[in-house]
Structure 1
Amino acid sequence: MSRKMGLNASSSQFTLEGEPFSHPGGSVHYFRVPRAYWRDRLMKMKACGINTLTTYVPWSLHQPERQVFNFHTQLDLEAYINLAAQLGLWVILRPGPYISSDLDLGGLPSWLLRDRNMKLRTTYPGFTEAVNVFFDKLIPKVLPLQFKKGGPIIAVQLENEYGSFGQDESYMLFIKEALQSRGISELLLTSDNHDGLKSGGVNGAIQTVKLQKLNQKDIQNLNAIQPNSPTLVMECWTGWYDVWGDLHHVFLADLVSTVREILRRGMSINLYMFHGGSSFGFMSGALANPSYKALVPSYDYDAPLTEAGEYTPKYHLLRDLFSRYNSNLSPLLVAYEPAIMYQHLSLWDALSLTEGSPTPVNMENLPVNNGNGQSYGYTLYETTITSGGLLKSGDNIRDRALVFVDRTFIGLFKHRNLELAVPDGKGQRTLSLLVENCGRVHRGRDLDKQRKGLVGDILLNNIPLRDFTIYSLDMKPSFIDRFVRFITLEALFPGFFMGRLFAYGYPSDTFVKLPGWGKGVVFINGLNLGRYWSIGPQQTLYLPGPFLNSGINQIIVFEEQEAEYKIQFEDTPDLGMAVDIQ
């Protein structure tokens, strides 16, 4: 089936096939929701009165290594878009290549940083060549799903918030041509906050705005730029993300009033997020300014549907509002009943060697993963010392490092903590630095500076340390499978601990809680649920029922410093003490 006229923005109102079109939209990211729950979440969104799904496409997940592409299972974008079509939803696709989305490096693959001259989000040849390779794989998958070819995709967004970053006037034109030359023919969009509207656009694409509260000046600025075009609030933020060490953010201002006013003015809207889900594994990004802060794995976002897909008061208020514009809403679905499992588990540890190097090597340039370096996780650097003294990081540690002498913990390097005393001792001793990539910054002008691990010399008594043995702890399933065979009963810190969870019948959702543990990572049946950290705010990790088997399930925990040797399972999340978003 083919259609002649897609989504059009040539007048003050959107039209689809020549008819007036209003698209209340909602963001649900396939890569943050277990595939088994895709249908549930999208049906709940449609039942609220939403007719358009928006989703980002994370380059870093689809191309984790330069020669490796993944569009299967959890990352089957075609299946996700086809499911949306089956449910009667239109789709706005946001393929980047940079997407932000509060992901590590804004969704860009870290192997790009192996190029020491890399200039991300520019027309630097090393970047554009990589984008072209990715688009050569991605775009053919979505071409048949465009509206004019009978599919649900009615619009495609170019990049994301480039007006707040823009350093290269030719870059957005390159992205536009890269999509159109490969066959993208639907309406093109750009999306910026109020600071980026003036410089974020490109000829041939309609500009849209992002906001949390309706600011008349933002709308006026957008209308001044494109006076004869419809207004689309591409991201009306329903909440916000959380960072380690802060409080849990909730948006108590009247979201419904903002949405009501947007609809009253005849503008179109997309709720970001409608359902946030979880940034499983090491997906989460970080902030650089005013100081470095890493995001938690929960992407609950205080959205209308919770991290576990349950209804909230926001959902019901929005559904009531949208019902005034659409009297034919789908019936509400019954949410999954969460499981309550309180088994307590004992666990144990292991480790695996990779490479040696005369000087420090950042994780992106480690000779691992078929020459693609290490993207996420921890890296352990060990060398021999013959004296104590003053150890200086020179701000060359990204982002935290536990420091050990002969495997005895002596201190922690982190941002603004640049010196550490090494105790005196006899003979040769092993100095170990366990460096964690807490998450690459996902926005701003520091993207090119996001190499992790040791990025320069570490000095002991002002002498650079040399001859490192380097252990790559990337925490991939292959890594987990490799070391599990060699686990012992001896408990060492930092270490890996393993146990079993027994689930019966059809497992339901639950939340992992680790009271008495410090900081680390949780794996269920080889799947990385994400980081935990006692400083909060997040105190539980969401464990979707589809991640569990009926019967025995393997649990592995990597813990840095302390463990209670027990893990609890709760029926409700604990995202921490809340603070209003101003």
Structure 2
Amino acid sequence: MPELQIDKAGFLLDGQPFRFLSGGLHYFRVHPDQWRDRLRKARLMGLNTVETYVPWNLHQPRPDRFVLDGGLDLPRFLELAAAEGLYVLLRPGPYICAEWEGGGLPSWLLTEPDIRLRSRDPRFLAAVDDFFDRLLTPLRPHLASRGGPVLAVQVENEYGAYGDDTAYLEHIADSLRRCGVDVPLFTCDQPVDLERGSLPGVLATANFGSRSARHLADLRAQRPEGPLMTTEFWLGWFDRWGARHVVRDPDDAARELDEALAAGASVNLYMFHGGTNFGFTNGANDKHTYRPTVTSYDYDAPLDEAGDPTPKYTAFRDAIAKHAPLPAGPVPAPGAKLTVPTVALTESAGLLPCADALAEPVDSRRPLTMEELEQDFGFVLYETTLPLRGPALLEIEHVRDRAQVFVDGQPVGVLERENHEHALAFTAPRAGSVLSILVENQGRVNYGQGIHDRKGLLGTVLVDGVAPTAWTNRPLPLTALEAVPFSATTSTPVGPAFHRGTFEVTEPADTFLHLDGWTKGNAWVNGFPLGRYWSRGPQRSLYVPAPVLRSGTNELVVLELHAGPRARTVDFRATPDLGPTEE
């Protein structure tokens, strides 16, 4: 069985000098039927290891429920990595950042109004210990000490950018050990945060994407002995709605990689293959202004979102070849792609009229948060009755994150957290009009103190200075759409609506859904949640993995929150559109 050791000079594997040539590959961002393909391409680029985070919020969606199958079958992913001859760096958090919803922390933690995440708050530590026990018990056979591929396990994640409580880190490390982790542990931080986030007796690694020699020298100055390692060598970046698609010159990134390898460092590429924030799983940042992340996690990586090698794949392969032998064989060819033009969505159903079919109403004296409704993702529909007709002013203390406002089903405006909007004027046509507020969780904040990010309508809600005291709350996670009462129609419903159509496929292959003329919403193919689209860009297409398609008739459902094109058609094309670029 392989044994990783850390000595004064560096890593040893079974007593021989070893260097990590690793790449990030998040199993939860890739369809499980495509794991084997992505792992094979990692090995063919010259990598000997893959790295993955573990999303606590998906594995433990409720305190009493744990999921470790299907797209979350981490043991199978580890087995496939081992079969491909790859080792694994495991990063179980509990916090992972990763531009992932809430940094991977489950939303149910936030039902405690004063909980302190990533701290020694006993409630948080008890939840972490329970998560580690549920996760790591079935993973023990996959540790290198037991013949598996997992060579090392990370303690927390970039904690130095958040806090400096060494006792908290010690608890996380002790919890990992109590759960049977007997392989080396490591921490990772940006160089400026290294001391705050490190732990005595645990390997400290640095994260950076440029000035490799300088950052490695800084790491060596702080750690005179032991391996040099960058756990996140940033070779691209993520995108946010309303900005440009971020790319990085392949040759520039390859030069930095060569420089790090020439210095003798171990490197984990972040990301080797980014994948996709399917469904509602994207995170957000909030540095005084809320900025949600897009659906694609292409990351300008060596493998693009569809798993095809990019110019960066070849450039990195050439850089690695200077320092380690490459596997035999050429660069893998791009996969087959599918084109289906002009798919008509001929059936529709308004969201507000069918809300009762989608969710049981919950009555309350004030709007309830998503967390109080035991809801992780999606929307909440809030409704109350207006006592008087005429002009009115709606004031909401905290909109989390985007509220569409309706009076008797007619749209009267939108309030966006991103734009710091809190008030909206409208006119009630009659006494007894229904005020409806559809609130979208656009992604919980995944970085910094903003991770305490509860969703829905928070704080005081006033209409003409008075707080309504009779509300109906309908949680709409949209995990299943079978109850939507579709009907054939040539007219477009007012307000948010579901639209459905079918299309024929002879042989399934990867493709990209293009929604030209549509405004904002979500899409599903055969019930699989592709993610969010938004005309503000930069992303203007959604990746459709081949395994979600089937030979014959396929179903597409689009939830359009505003107004789609009059013809209500979409295209499936062979190429993506991630928007105008920014280097």
1:404 matched residue in structure 2: 406
Pairing of 1:510-525 with structure 2 (within 5 A)? 510-525=511-526
**Structure 1 residue 376: deviation in Å?**
0.6
1:76 matched residue in structure 2: 73
Q: For 2:569, what is the secondary structure of its paired residue? A: coil
1:357 matched residue in structure 2: 364
CA contact (8 A) 1:26 1:274 kept: yes
Equivalent pairs, count = 566
2:455 matched residue in structure 1: 452
Distance 1:398 1:488 in 2: 34
Pairing of 1:407-422 with structure 2 (within 5 A)? 407-415=409-417, 416-422=420-426
Q: For 1:344, what is the secondary structure of its paired residue? A: strand
**Structure 1 residue 220: deviation in Å?**
3.3
CA contact (8 A) 1:280 1:528 kept: yes
Distance 1:457 1:496 in 2: 31
Which AA in structure 1 matches 2:574? D
Instruction: Name which of structure 1's ranges 491-500 and 439-448 shifts more when overlaid on structure 2.
Output: 491-500
Pairing of 1:185-334 with structure 2 (within 5 A)? 185-252=182-249, 254-331=252-329, 332-334=331-333
Q: For 1:221, what is the secondary structure of its paired residue? A: helix
2:334 matched residue in structure 1: 335
Distance 1:219 1:323 in 2: 21
Which AA in structure 2 matches 1:295? T
* Residue 469 (structure 1) aligned to one of 464, 467, 472: 472
* 2:574 corresponds to 1:571: yes
Pairing of 1:152-167 with structure 2 (within 5 A)? 152-166=149-163
**Structure 1 residue 248: deviation in Å?**
0.6
Q: For 1:457, what is the secondary structure of its paired residue? A: strand
* 2:145 corresponds to 1:176: no
**Structure 1 residue 289: deviation in Å?**
0.9
Distance 1:272 1:395 in 2: 38
Q: For 2:102, what is the secondary structure of its paired residue? A: helix
1:288-343 Cα deviation digits (max 9, x unpaired): 01411100010000000110011111111111222233334142333311111114
Q: For 1:143, what is the secondary structure of its paired residue? A: helix
Q: For 1:529, what is the secondary structure of its paired residue? A: strand
1:369 matched residue in structure 2: none
Which AA in structure 2 matches 1:451? R
Distance 2:226 2:392 in 1: 63
Identity of aligned residues (%): 40
CA contact (8 A) 2:164 2:196 kept: no
CA RMSD across the alignment: 1.5
* 2:142 corresponds to 1:145: yes
Distance 2:391 2:261 in 1: 66
Distance 1:252 1:27 in 2: 19
Pairing of 1:50-129 with structure 2 (within 5 A)? 50-129=47-126
1:249-306 Cα deviation digits (max 9, x unpaired): 1112700100000011111101000000101011100010141110001000000011
CA contact (8 A) 1:495 1:559 kept: yes
**Structure 1 residue 430: deviation in Å?**
0.5
Distance 2:81 2:338 in 1: 28
CA contact (8 A) 1:56 1:99 kept: yes
- Give unpaired runs (5+ residues) of structure 2: none
**Structure 1 residue 22: deviation in Å?**
1.3
1:510-552 Cα deviation digits (max 9, x unpaired): 0001111110000111111100000000000000110111111
Which AA in structure 1 matches 2:517? G
CA contact (8 A) 2:213 2:259 kept: no
Greater strand fraction, Structure 1 or Structure 2: 2
* 2:558 corresponds to 1:557: yes
1:434 matched residue in structure 2: 438
Taking structure 2 as the reference length, the TM-score comes to 0.94
Q: For 1:40, what is the secondary structure of its paired residue? A: helix
**Structure 1 residue 344: deviation in Å?**
1.5
Which AA in structure 1 matches 2:124? F
Distance 2:81 2:151 in 1: 12
Distance 1:224 1:195 in 2: 12
Instruction: Name which of structure 1's ranges 156-165 and 387-396 shifts more when overlaid on structure 2.
Output: 387-396
Q: For 1:83, what is the secondary structure of its paired residue? A: helix
Q: For 2:195, what is the secondary structure of its paired residue? A: coil
Q: For 2:459, what is the secondary structure of its paired residue? A: coil
**Structure 1 residue 427: deviation in Å?**
2.1
CA contact (8 A) 2:343 2:501 kept: no
CA contact (8 A) 1:338 1:571 kept: yes
Q: For 1:112, what is the secondary structure of its paired residue? A: helix
| Aligned CA distance change for structure 1 residues 215 and 322 (closer, same or farther; 3 Å) | closer
Distance 1:53 1:172 in 2: 24
Which AA in structure 2 matches 1:348? S
1:370 matched residue in structure 2: none
* 2:41 corresponds to 1:44: yes
2:397 matched residue in structure 1: 395
1:4-54 Cα deviation digits (max 9, x unpaired): xx2222212211111100121001111111111111111111101000111
Which AA in structure 1 matches 2:286? A
**Structure 1 residue 466: deviation in Å?**
2.3
Which AA in structure 1 matches 2:395? S
* 2:502 corresponds to 1:495: no
**Structure 1 residue 192: deviation in Å?**
0.5
**Structure 1 residue 224: deviation in Å?**
2.7
Which AA in structure 2 matches 1:365? E
